[in-house]
Structure 1
């Protein structure tokens, strides 16, 4: 069944608390799921708890959070805290993130993302199922951490970029999510997930995709979207995707150290339209339908808010 949700964006030019406004608007207009990521503003679990307390029905998916930054115990504690202090349904999403965030911000190793993801998902599931977990070298001790209340039903989503991470996601994830990708890429990943999951005797996991969206965007909205895309030009995975789309020079400029402001000014509207949903209500709905037809069971809209505070106009029109 195809579904439509909302992603709380962290636009660099907007108030931090706008994330709460978007959450309230998403609930008001009947969306079934809200994604809550993490950048340079709120701790994701803290924001998710605030949203859970302030809403009544909307489901929450926390992340994708970098798998190599928090320990499996802290990840399980975080998501279980939201489920207990707020309410269900809630899920956890994990990703590889980027060297700039994992190593540059958190001083953790970024390499070997795929095997780390496999280990992390298994360990988080162990904790959520109510079993004890404590690792010393290669040995799991019997006196390790255990949740007081098991929550084995919490789903784990994996953000997949590249063949290695896609293979891990196909084999261990309850759901797979993509971000800033064209429709054609969704179709390719859907085929890979189906093939790799069936090769290990597993039902292929459902696929979700985050899609930036703006209702009849003007100059300010397009500038906001370009500024955000510029952040993703250099990280591994994203850079290769944008290069394949014909924007190799932009990627090379980002990786050579060109300031973000200069990169944002160079991001063309054509690139934004390849990875987003823009225009009038009918055009946006057609774009959403194209992602669904390509194999995304869930589309999470990332609302531009430079000209539409809280994304309220966009959410109202799409909800109709």
Structure 2
């Protein structure tokens, strides 16, 4: 079944607490699922608990979190706390993240494939109520859905084998179709695919600047750079990998690249774009609302909700 949700973004040019306002706007607009990630502002489980206290019905997916940062016990305790304190449906999403976040920020070894596989297996066992290494949750959450963020062949194999869902961020429609094909080759019953895409309703100059600034962060990392190169933007990737500052890179990102990995324009254009991701094989689309000229994404979410959540796609 196809669905559209909302992602709490962490725009570098916006107040951190806007994440709470976005959650409320998404809930009030009738979206059924909210993704709660983690960067340099809030602990994701604490934020999810706060969101649960301020919203009424929207289900929560915490992550993708860096699998190598928290132990499986910490992951299970966090998710159990969210469910127990909010009474809300909640899922967990895990990914490899990056050496900067895992090793530099948190001082943990960066072993992407092994850490993701172990975290998914052990967190699932703990949430189901099983004992792992002598520990058992007092408040298990059996049947918790665990999504896996995958970019690259090795993590795609982990996602196919261990995940209940594969999460893709900032991808083109063609890339989704490629992932569908890859997953079908890896397993007889591929997990569904969730896609995160930036979304902006009739964006002005400030919004386009916000989108460009955030996308510039992803030009250099492996996987993303290759995809942007395949889309015809190899020179930008080369400049990013050579160490050029993000601000100058952002200034040169063309609108065509924003359109290739997002949904911007009129309400009908955004709805058509979401439909294109579904047609390529996605089961869920998470909208990352641009907020530079639309605080909390309220106008975007209110306008799009009737088109995206009421069976009109």
What TM-score do the two structures reach when normalised by structure 1?
A: 0.93
Kindly state the Cα deviation for residue 234 of structure 1 after the two structures are TM-superposed: 1.6
| 1:121 has 2:120 as partner | yes
Q: CA deviation at 1:117?
A: 1.4
**1:32 touches 1:59 (CA, 8 Å); kept in 2?**
yes
Matches of 1:99 and 1:240, distance apart in 2: 18
Q: Once the 2 structures are TM-superposed, how far is the Cα of residue 88 of structure 1 from its aligned partner?
A: 2.4
For 2:129, the equivalent position in structure 1 comes to 130
| SS in structure 2 at match of 1:299 | strand
Aligned partner of 2:91 in structure 1 is 91
Counterpart of 1:146?
A: 136
Of 285, 288, 292, the residue aligned with 2:278 is 292
**2:147 maps to 1:157:** yes
Shift of 1:285: 0.4
Total equivalences in the alignment: 306
| Equivalent-residue separation in structure 2 for 1:238 and 1:96 (angstroms) | 14
Q: Deviations over 1:82-104 (max 9, x none)?
A: 01111221000001111221122
Q: What displacement does 1:313 show?
A: 0.8
SS of 1:150 mapped into structure 2: coil
User: Aligned to 1:133, what secondary structure does the other structure show?
Assistant: coil
Distance 2:102 2:246 in 1: 19
CA distance in 2, matches of 1:107, 1:244: 34
Q: Which moved more, 1:55-64 or 1:123-132?
A: 123-132
Q: Is the Cα–Cα contact under 8 Å of residues 35 and 60 in structure 1 kept in the other structure?
A: yes
Corresponding residue to 1:205 among 183, 191, 214: 191
What is the CA deviation profile of residues 240-278 of structure 1, one whole-angstrom value per residue up to 9, with x for unaligned ones? 221222222222222222111112112111110100001
**1:163-178 residue pairs with structure 2 within 5 A?**
163-178=153-168
- Superposed displacement of residue 116, structure 1: 2.2
Alignment correspondent of 1:140: none
Three-state SS of the structure 2 residue aligned to 1:5 is strand
1:51 maps to 2:51: yes
List structure 1 segments (4+ residues) > 6 angstroms apart after TM superposition. none
Structure 1: gaps (5+ residues): 135-143
Give distance in 2, aligned partners of 1:216 and 1:109.
Answer: 43
RMSD of equivalent CA atoms:
1.1
Match of 1:222 in 2: 208
Q: 2:289 aligns with which of 303, 306, 311?
A: 303
The DSSP-based 3-state class of the residue aligned with 2:12 is coil
Which of 242-251 and 12-21 deviates more? Answer: 242-251
- Which residue does 2:31 correspond to in 1? 31
Q: Identify the range of structure 1 (229-238 vs 278-287) with the bigger mean alpha-carbon deviation.
A: 229-238
Does the CA-based 8 Å contact 1:98-1:236 persist in structure 2?
no
Distance 2:5 2:127 in 1: 25
Q: CA deviation at 1:301?
A: 0.3
Secondary structure at the aligned position of 1:102 is classed as helix
Tell me, what secondary structure is at the counterpart of 1:63?
strand
What CA distance in whole angstroms lies between the structure 2 residues aligned with 1:242 and 1:30?
33
Could you tell me which residue of structure 2 aligns to residue 80 of structure 1? 80
Unmatched runs of 5 consecutive residues or more in structure 2: 307-313
TM superposition score normalised by structure 2: 0.95
1:279 deviates by 0.6
